[in-house]
Amino acid sequence: MKKVSFRPILIATIAVVLCSSGLIGAQRANAAAQNVAAGKTPTSNAALINASLATDGASNNSNSFAEAGTGKKYIQIDFGGNYYLNKILLWHYYADSRTYKDVVVKLSESATFSSATTVFNNDVDNSSGQGAGSDAEYAETAAGKTITFNPVKARYLRIYSNGSNINTYNHYVEAQAWTIDNSYRANNVTFTNPEWVMTPQTDAFIQDVVNKMNAYKIKYQMIDVGFFDRDSETGQYDDINGQPIDGTMSWYAYDELENWVNKSRQYAPDMKLIGVVNGNKSLHVQGLPYTDKNNVLHTPAVSKATMQDNIAAHCAFLVNYYGLDGINLDFEPVSAGAASTDYRQLIQKVRTAIGPNKHLSIDGNPFAAYMPDNEIAQFGAMLDMIVMMDYDTADLNVPAYPANPSSTNATNYKLAIKENTKRISSALPASCAFIPLGPGDYGFTDVHKSYENAQNHSVAVNDAIMEGARVAGSGVWWFSASMNNATETQQFNDFWINGTP
């Protein structure tokens, strides 16, 4: 049997999330959320009694509190360094469900609060002089008050109050300041070169690749295992060689896949190994004739339903025979304005074939013209993950983003990625992980521009995170060149793995 092509189509764009380093004293990457107020001794503009009780971690005893005198007072907590925070938990005395007045919560990098961010304020008449607030007063309970907000960089927390409806005293049972969960920075994705599983590789080579993936904190190794109905030696579709285009793939195209999987598991036991299957959206997803760049027409030899059944069966074979952790479908997004129903039908068939407990993801174009919010929501309900392609966004013949879905320079590239990251995050259900996958080094220059790099992409996605976007990780497309590119590696390390948002 002849081999079929595993040469991927590099038309779309993949999105990653990176971030800035060099913020001395700021929270480092890969950390789960932590209460940075714990054990710190508060100060106050009052004679503070039993100060340590406000940060001792105990909130279950309303009679265990710090007291900050009467009238308009505050307590202040120094975390000892800058952190990115997105949640404050606060307990005043709560045994009698009293309501404390003029509660104002501020964060700052300065001990004098010369510049500060207010995250809660129920002082509606500005009687405490901290600005009029719009938050509602609340009755104290054993559950405390949870205040959430977009990430704020701060070293100091200041909490004001002005007595309660019971008396003029200010009591603090517990105050907690929670950092953002940065563990997603070690939840990254990359895509391999299909030739790595088409031809024999030495153990030393595989170990070198996997070690470099470990340095990139890769959790999901997307192993490219081929392109349906293409010849591996010529890159031509099967119908050119007299064989039908029917959604099949030659076994010989990944003779070394088993060895690659076994060695990857040996060198990185916790890494998820996902088989990436490629296809043509017209032929394999929509069941339509396709005219290639040489003006050659290719026509499916089977019905759309049969084509998708064959693809789903092959995905099940890959998962079951090679022991893969799941499948990634890289068929590129459907054309702008085209219905996504056919792709969802294919996804459902693959899900049924591989089973409910295996990973299933797709790659997509981040622009709304290709994947509008309603379709993202529908895809997300069916998938474990969507990887958005945040590169090859350039079209120099049209106006810059946001006038159209393209970018022409670093400024509007970063704007496009930031705004789409926020949009996609809002549209996706929480059950579906969102990976904005960033540009890597792969040599094409027609639409892949120099400003599409790890630094600019990470800045854009981190800006989106700071404005409330939810991402599950990042990564790089694709790995074979980026892993040996010192600039790309350093940018990914500095701006994502070791960075701060």
Q: Is-contact 73 170, C-beta < 8 A?
A: yes
- pLDDT tens digits, 277-333: 999 999 999 999 999 888 999 999 999 999 999 999 999 999 999 999 999 999 876
Please state whether beta strands 174-179 and 188-191 pair in parallel, antiparallel, or not at all (unpaired): unpaired
C-alpha distances in angstroms, 408 versus 295, 367, 414, 436, 449?
29, 15, 10, 20, 9
pLDDT of residue 23: 35
- pLDDT tens digits, 73-91: 999 999 999 999 999 999 9
State the number of CA atoms in the 13 A half-sphere of 73 facing the CB: 23
| Residues carrying CATH 2.60.120.260, the chain | 43-179
- In DSSP terms, 161 is beta-bridged to 73
Q: How far apart are CA 164 and CA 429, in angstroms?
A: 41
Section 383-404 average pLDDT:
83
pTM for this model (two decimals):
0.82
Range in 46-55, 112-121, 319-328, 404-413 the model is least confident about: 404-413
pLDDT of residue 15: 40
The stretches of 193-256 forming alpha helices (DSSP H) are 203-215
Closest CA to 366 of 420, 328, 441: 420
Q: How far apart are CA 429 and CA 376, in angstroms?
A: 9
Question: What mean pLDDT, rounded, does the chain reach?
Answer: 89
Q: Name every residue whose Cβ is closer than 8 Å to that of residue 175 and which is 6 or more positions away in sequence.
A: 37, 42, 54, 55, 75, 77, 88, 89, 90, 91, 157, 159
For residue 396, pLDDT beyond 80: no
Please state whether beta strands 272-278 and 145-161 pair in parallel, antiparallel, or not at all (unpaired): unpaired
Q: How far apart are CA 90 and CA 433, in angstroms?
A: 31
- pLDDT tens digits, 239-257: 998 999 999 987 666 789 9
Query: What CATH superfamily is the domain 43-179?
Result: Galactose-binding domain-like (2.60.120.260)
119 pLDDT band (50/70/90 cuts)?
very high
- pLDDT tens digits, 127-163: 999 999 999 999 999 999 999 999 999 999 999 999 9
- pLDDT tens digits, 103-114: 999 999 999 999
370 pLDDT band (50/70/90 cuts)?
confident
For residue 98, pLDDT beyond 50: yes
CB atoms within 10 A of CB 273: 22
| Domain at 183-497: CATH code | 3.20.20.80
- In DSSP terms, 361 is beta-bridged to 328, 385
Closest CA to 371 of 452, 302, 440, 427: 427
- In DSSP terms, 156 is beta-bridged to 78, 108
Q: How far apart are CA 79 and CA 308, in angstroms?
A: 56
| Residues carrying CATH 3.20.20.80, the chain | 183-497
Q: How far apart are CA 259 and CA 261, in angstroms?
A: 5
